[in-house]
């Protein structure tokens, strides 16, 4: 068997493989794309794209605190599911299909996290792409239903009671969001509080499922 270090590009930097270099290049490309974008328009400066949003807007550090925590939970859920799914897939086809379920759930979490981070369904879709917010919600809902239906056997063997609470929290948040057009304080608290609880429960569910499946081998 070939020793893992033989795949290293530089003997003095263990772990630096071709994949590592590819990731570094991709990261550098993102930074350069930001620089190019700032040059294409006078309305956007390089600092607007590179610095922290609170620093750019000169807002207090507590602005968006709950939203930021929610994004961290989206990232945690996606990471746990994708990593566990990738590890389990190494063992080859299995029944139940835990790798497929975890990978699909992980990618869905990543997409929803990016939506939350860049306010896609709230600002980008309706304001720039002229796609109604309800249409975006419908796509996400159909994707979730497709995931749950296709891997229903796996879900039945998972701690699915947490999913019931997750679905209830998200349902309250979505209904309140669609009805709370004037952003009144109490409805906003219900909307964003329920959303945060839904993300938290989803993260707990995926972490618990990933942990159990990895322990079971």
| Tokens encoding 213 | 């499946």
Range from 63-72, 114-123, 176-185 carrying the lowest mean pLDDT: 176-185
Q: Are 206 and 109 in contact (CB under 8 A)?
A: yes
The domain limits of the chain are 4-50, 64-216
Residue carrying structure tokens 């975890």 = 102
pLDDT in tens, 203-212: 999 999 999 9
| Tokens encoding 114 | 């990016």
Would the pTM of this model clear 0.85, i.e. be above it? yes
Q: Output the CA torsion sign for 92, 159, 113, 133.
A: positive
Q: Which residues of 102-135 are buried (b: 16+ CB within 10 A; e: fewer)?
A: bbbbbbbbbbbbebbeeebbeeebbeeeeeebee
pLDDT in tens, 10-64: 667 787 888 888 999 999 999 999 999 888 887 888 889 989 999 999 999 999 9
């Amino acid at each position: 068997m070939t020793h893992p270090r033989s795949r290293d590009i530089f003997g003095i930097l263990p772990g630096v493989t071709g994949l590592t270099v590819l990731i570094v290049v991709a990261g550098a490309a993102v930074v350069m794309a930001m620089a190019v974008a700032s040059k294409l328009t006078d309305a956007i400066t390089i600092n607007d794209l590179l610095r922290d949003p609170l620093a750019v807007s000169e807002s207090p550090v507590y602005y968006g605190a709950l939203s930021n925590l929610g994004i961290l939970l989206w990232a945690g859920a996606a990471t746990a599911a994708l990593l566990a799914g990738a590890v389990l897939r190494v063992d080859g086809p299995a029944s139940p299909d835990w790798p497929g379920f975890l990978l699909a759930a992980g990618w869905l979490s990543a997409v929803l996290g990016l939506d939350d981070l860049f306010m896609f369904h709230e600002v980008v879709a309706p304001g720039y792409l002229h796609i109604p917010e309800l249409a975006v919600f419908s796509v996400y809902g159909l994707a979730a239903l497709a995931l749950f239906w296709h891997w229903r056997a796996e879900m039945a063997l998972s701690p699915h009671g947490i999913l019931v609470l997750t679905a209830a929290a998200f349902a309250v948040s979505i209904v309140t969001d669609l009805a709370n057009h004037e952003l009144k304080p109490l409805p906003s608290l219900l909307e964003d509080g329920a959303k945060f609880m839904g993300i938290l429960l989803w993260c707990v569910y995926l972490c618990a499922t990933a942990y159990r499946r990895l322990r079971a081998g």
